[in-house]
Copies of this chain bind each other. A is one copy, B any other.
């Protein structure tokens, strides 16, 4: 039952308890929300954002990304690893080079929505 569940804070207990229970019943599964946060965490670094935006234009090898962004090959490589783990980029080998590209198109949509939010 729910009536043995008591809310300690907030005086107007009954009203809030209803709302609390309703909201709780509507919440998505914990693991889904965790995964969502993990996805946004990957987007939440300016180096990774810059890499992804760079890849909007063209498939690129690691050293070209480093050149475009003015950063070390190692730093870029580490971040590409994070992006790959998040399934945001894919890569293919061509001789000594490895070319990276966007894994799917949700990224563009999400970034566009992000831009919209910022610019208002």
Contacts and interface: CB of A to CB of B under 8 A. Distances in A.
Contacts of A75: none
A14 interface: no
B104 A120 contact: yes
Interface string A32-60: 11111111111111101110011011101
Interface string A97-118: 1000000101101110111111
Question: What is the total number of copies of this protein in its complex?
Answer: 2
B68 A20 contact: yes
Nearest to A107: B117
A88 to B, nearest CB: 8
Contacts of A57: 22-23, 26-27
A117 B113 contact: no
Nearest to A56: B26
Contact of A66 (B9, B40, B68): B9
Contacts of A97: 10
Interface of A: 7, 9-10, 16, 19-20, 22-24, 26-28, 32-46, 48-50, 53-54, 56-58, 60-61, 63-64, 66-68, 73, 87, 97, 104, 106-107, 109-111, 113-118, 120
